[in-house]
A and B are shown apart, each in its own frame.
Chain A
Amino acid sequence: MSRLIKQWIPVLIAAITGLVVLAGYLIPSPLLIYYRDRLIEWAVIVAAFAFILGLFNILRVHGGRVVRLRQGWFYSLILLLVAMVAWVPPVLYGPSGTPTRQMLDYVIGPLGASLAALVVFTLALAAFRLLRVRRSAGAVFFILVVAVVLLGSTPLMGLEWLADVRDWIISVPGMAGMRGLLLGVALGTVITALRVFVASDRPHSEF
């Protein structure tokens, strides 16, 4: 009985719900589409509980650090205090209310954009390190492609032909490589999904 509950019921739940949702996408039947939409709507609600579980984990980890005054307790205290304040505006005023917009414009927006801006230094540093650590033909070729695409985007006098080379790289070999990559990822997704449906992969079960 215990084996049935712990092992086979989760497998059946995953396979049946998955196949119904998949059928709703592939077969144009109003009934299947109705069940598909209903199952996805339920999944959104269950995912909200998963979010709450994650929130409890954050509170437990950072709360424990603050209570025991462990290293970095002050940062944890800031995180908890800000989190306790930041949930109020969206609930009371909605995502487009003035206080929520102000929180997004003056706190979350600047912090997120500044972190994204730091990526430019990380990427430039990574390119230099690539050339220093691994001086292979592939690495040099990669940097060459990056340089041509970057220089081709700038309006340099006398180097207008670089823009043509850049366009060709993006629309022919770059496109072919990216398309192969996308197809590879999609095939991998299909295989992984089929393995879940036939219970070869059981990320949800304890056996």
Chain B
Amino acid sequence: MILDVEIVGLILGAGLTLLIFSYLLGDNPLYRLALHLFIGALVGYSFGIVLRDVLIGMLLTRWLTEPVAVVVPLVLGLLLLFKGFPRHAYVGNFSIAYLVGVGTAVALSGALLGTLVPQVGATGRALSLESFVSFRLGPLDGLLILVGTVCTLMAFNFTARKRRGLAGVWARLVGVTAWVGRVFLIFAFGVAFAGALTAALSIFVGRIQYLIDVYFRVAGFLGG
């Protein structure tokens, strides 16, 4: 009887699944072994992808054809490695600054064009006639979305409040809207929590199904 790669792989996968599930009995050496194995495999796999796609695919290939185009990232990359030596770590700050600058700009444009503009537009459209038709309670739902969004934003107000005069009245008004906002936040977190629970439960059921499938595959294989 010759064991094929698929059967060995399935048994390996099932064994690793059981090692991880052993955590349900408490933290134990088998779980820690599986965890370190997972981290090692992920680190190795990621390094392989980075080496193949970026360092060979983007850097070395371009270096052989058009060296000038990759001099700057190569120099910045090599400078970054100085971060591993505490006495000369400041040399790596140029590369970190470059990454921070580009990363910040990408995040800023993503926040502006991907979140702020579309979400503000969608909140405004909640009060349009087209939206009323799709809502269960019509205009009331649209109003709730608008009020809820504004109040939720007010819930992130962490400045000190004045207590006297008109400023005090305004502070109390802000306090009330922030409280309403926290109620809407509870709704949002509740929906997110239920979604995460449902997704995790689906994955758990999938793993149990995987173990059952492996059992029948191996039993069928051994039975001929």
Where the two chains meet, the residues of A that have a C-beta atom closer than 8 Å to any C-beta of B are 5-6, 9-11, 13-22, 25-26, 39-53, 55-58, 72, 75-76, 78-91, 94-95, 100, 102-121, 123-124, 127, 138, 141-146, 149-150, 153, 164, 167-187, 189-190, 192-194, 196-197, 203-206
What chain A residues lie within 8 Å of B35 (beta carbons)? 75, 115
| Alpha-carbon separation in the docked complex, A91 to B202 (Å) | 33
What chain A residues lie within 8 Å of B111 (beta carbons)? 185-187, 189-190, 193
| Alpha-carbon separation in the docked complex, A72 to B33 (Å) | 10
B81 and A49: CB pair below 8 A?
Answer: yes
B193 and A183: CB pair below 8 A?
Answer: no
| Alpha-carbon separation in the docked complex, A189 to B114 (Å) | 12
Instruction: Report the nearest A residue to B70, measured CB to CB.
Output: A45
B145 and A119: CB pair below 8 A?
Answer: no
Question: Number of residues in B with C-beta < 8 Å to the partner?
Answer: 118
Q: List 29 A-B contacts (CB under 8 A).
A: A17-B105, A18-B100, A25-B106, A41-B58, A43-B98, A46-B99, A49-B78, A50-B95, A52-B81, A82-B37, A87-B45, A87-B47, A90-B48, A100-B45, A102-B5, A104-B45, A107-B12, A116-B203, A118-B21, A138-B182, A142-B189, A146-B190, A176-B152, A177-B187, A181-B152, A186-B119, A190-B108, A193-B105, A203-B100
Given contacts A13-B97, A18-B102, A180-B185, contact A142 B40 (CB under 8 A): no
Instruction: Scan residues 123-172 of chain B and give those whose CB is less than 8 A from a CB of chain A.
Output: 123, 135-137, 141, 144-153, 155-156
A22 and B105: CB pair below 8 A?
Answer: yes
| Alpha-carbon separation in the docked complex, A24 to B56 (Å) | 27
The 10 A-B pairs with the shortest beta carbon distances in the complex, nearest first, are: A180-B152, A176-B148, A86-B44, A177-B188, A145-B190, A90-B48, A82-B40, A49-B77, A106-B9, A21-B105
Given contacts A40-B106, A117-B204, A174-B190, contact A168 B136 (CB under 8 A): yes
> Which of A83, A95, A119, A196 is in CB contact (< 8 Å) with B49?
A95
Given contacts A51-B47, A102-B5, A185-B115, contact A145 B186 (CB under 8 A): yes
Closest Cβ of chain A to B154, distance in Å, is 8
What secondary structure prevails in chain B residues at the interface with A? Answer: helix
> Which of B13, B32, B48, B84 is in CB contact (< 8 Å) with A87?
B48
Given contacts A83-B47, A138-B186, contact A17 B34 (CB under 8 A): no
What chain A residues lie within 8 Å of B95 (beta carbons)? 46, 49-50
Closest Cβ of chain A to B115, distance in Å, is 4
Given contacts A95-B49, A113-B207, A123-B200, contact A181 B194 (CB under 8 A): no
Closest Cβ of chain B to A139, distance in Å, is 9
Where the two chains meet, the residues of B that have a C-beta atom closer than 8 Å to any C-beta of A are 5, 9-10, 12-14, 16-17, 20-21, 23-24, 32-52, 54-56, 58-59, 70, 72-74, 76-78, 80-81, 83-84, 90, 93-113, 115-116, 119-120, 122-123, 135-137, 141, 144-153, 155-156, 181-198, 200-201, 203-204, 206-207, 210
A178 and B77: CB pair below 8 A?
Answer: no
Given contacts A53-B81, A176-B145, A186-B115, contact A111 B100 (CB under 8 A): no
Closest Cβ of chain B to A162, distance in Å, is 12
A149 and B194: CB pair below 8 A?
Answer: yes
Closest Cβ of chain A to B132, distance in Å, is 13
Closest Cβ of chain B to A125, distance in Å, is 11
